Structure 1
Amino acid sequence: MNVDRYALFGHPVALSLSPRIHQQFAQSLGETIIYNKEVVFPEHFSLAVCNFFEKGGSGLNITVPHKESAYRLADKVSEDAAIAAAANTLWIKDKKIHADNTDGRGFIQDLSRQKIKLKNKTIMILGAGGAVRGILAPLLKQNPKQLFIVNRTLKKVEQLVEDFSNLGKISALSMEEIHRQPIDLLINGISLHQIPIDKINLKPRANYYDLKYSKAAEASLLWAEEQGFNKISDGWGMLVSQAAESYKIWRGKMPDITEVLKWNDK
């Protein structure tokens, strides 16, 4: 019996839980798949993707630093991938490479699950990397009052503002200006040592969300507790939700994520 093969391409991938997550999805649906993770260097990315599909691979998840390359490599792209100019999910259909970006949908689903409101809220994002880019369009579609992006390199933020300004109220802020805006939600996409911890201006019952998860987010979650945020979350729910969206694209079935969300050894 031929078993459908899937994989995660990135660098690094050693700590990724994607194989375990997708195997759990398959098991819960009574299906059998093979899912591996592979270290792929940037200079080998295009060849690795083509070889994977030529050898009968069914689908790929793409992580750093290849999401922009995956978008450029694809023959057909979804609206979410096109807006983000990045892709985290690839598959073959009609002999063409198709691409989607499920990061933003996974992020919004996780916030909704936690009952974190976005409409008419003032939101600040720390960082301007690929993870941030992937969530901006879905975030703006929720109609926040204002979305501010803060990064040490202001040029990168200004580019994001230019790319997404047609979708809603989005502005760039320097680290020096961070104290001027009282916020309802702080989304962290950078390392703890980069946060100007003495300058955050919180509204009552402000919430905190770190796009990282597990040990990578531990220090920032502790910092958030000290700041007095209301709800404090890491990106585990986002990871699981975006993975479920990828699984549905590949296999036509949406897995139940309830059990995976409960994993406490991640």
Structure 2
Amino acid sequence: MGFFTGSADRPLDCKQEDKYFLFLCNLAFTVFGLMVLGLGMWGLISKESFAQERIGSIGTDPMLVLVSLGFLLAVLCLTGCVGAIRENSCLLRLFSGILLILITVQVLIAIMAYSMQDQIEVYLRSGMLAAMAGYQDDLDLRFITDEIQTNLQCCGADTYRDWETNIYYNCSSPGVLACGVPATCCVDPLDNGTVWNSQCGLGAQRLDEFTAQSTIFLGGCIGGISRWIEQNQGLVGAVAVVVLGVQILAVFITTRLLESINWHKMHA
């Protein structure tokens, strides 16, 4: 069987269209993968993660996620790119096989996420508390925590008093940060609307909620994250469907190109 025109044994002559479409799509994603890889490498270099005193902990650096994803995406799409333009059946089969594995993994992850949605909040809370505990010692955790608190206008996991879990912000700490919260918890962290005031959250945990509400955000970030997920679940689902659909289309076109290549080889 196959893709037919008027002949019972000749597949539809769409090899050139499939080849160049697959080549251009994979070329675009190869460039994107290299950009992600470059961004990850830039992050590692800018943080001096390759310095001798920090090289031992590089395995836990979040920037490695970008490096790994960028590298894998670039290699996979370059395989499809070369396989298409060279009409190399081995590379095309490898490309198609890896895509099928990725599609399967993504579907399984989606099923697991749906079945475990009641536990997601528990994982979010434990992750947020862990990020808060390492806030002062890890630049990545600080950046992530600050972004969440700034964008969602929240403070802590469930309440601003959660910052007690951090050894520097703990009320028993001897430092100047004792019983305080980060500046990203502040309602207005700018002095005169222009200068960043890093000390606006000092002593905030000593204040009662009525007094503190004029200075910092009282609500925790877990509720804000949950609301964001609920409000954007349609968009997230649509993006996931589009990404999955593009991968399925790539497998379909690769399979059709392989069939056309094999037919031409047999009848050359």
TM-score by length of 1: 0.22
Structure ranking higher on relative contact order (CA contacts 8 Å, 6+ apart): 2
Q: Which has the larger radius of gyration?
A: 2
TM-score by length of 2: 0.22
Which protein has the bigger strand share?
A: 1
